[in-house]
Amino acid sequence: MTGNEFVEHLDGKIGEALERLGRLSGAGEASKDLTIDRLLTIALKNELEATEIAAIWLADTRELDVKLALGRQVGDESKHYRAICDRLKELGTDADGIDPGQSGYSPMFQYLRELKSTIARVAAGQFAREGIAVVRNQCFIDYCDAVGDAKTAALYRDIIQPDERHHHELGRHLLARYALSSQEQTEASQAALRTIELAEEIQEMARLKAGVSRAPGC
């Protein structure tokens, strides 16, 4: 397959999984303690990990266009973190007192940190993880609208979500450029699918153990 053909093929493979992830994210009745400020606090950890993993990859990535894409992502994710902190303060939460890294790194971060090749990183990070973020953020936006929090919905709809879509589309472009051989395409597929699997596992664990659903992505 050409690079473009491969990306279309991979889109099809993970498309159903992303739809399923979106359904799971919004499944069931939301508990009364599933407040917007609680979900935004969870989002801080996601944004911090997304910032850090992009920064780690940036340091040893050789391809200039990928390096610059990671540089933009570091800036975007840290911008999201600050915007969420500002919204939490407006909601009456002391965002400055929150330590998102207190509980340690997530299994997703630990998996992504071990990826060494550019192909696997782009497939897992920008293509798959940012695709997951788009799906989850939409679910969160819908929830904010449903509970009457138009300001948080607007933050995600107008600022955060466009950045995540850009990251995902950039991942598509970079995969089409670099995943050219059958070996590279197999590596990319495995990394993307494993990222989806991890996201499903983490989401289900959060729902069962803490009653958390409708949480945004990164």
**CA neighbours within 13 Å on the CB side: how many for 134?**
18
From CA 180, how far away is CA 3, in angstroms rounded? 5
pLDDT 10s digits, 90-127: 999 999 999 998 889 999 999 999 999 999 999 999 99
- All structural domains of the chain, each given as residue ranges with its CATH number in brackets, are 3-27+34-210 (1.20.910.10)
Residue 33 has pLDDT above 80, yes or no: no
pLDDT 10s digits, 120-133: 999 999 999 999 99
Picking from 28-42, 91-105, 190-204, which range would have the lowest pLDDT averaged per residue?
28-42
Residue 178 has pLDDT above 60, yes or no: yes
Q: Which residues contact 167 (CB under 8 A, 6 or more apart)?
A: 69, 73, 76, 126, 130, 133
From CA 43, how far away is CA 85, in angstroms rounded? 10
Selected residue with higher pLDDT from 136 and 206: 136
Q: What percent of the chain has pLDDT over 70?
A: 93
pTM, 2 dp: 0.92
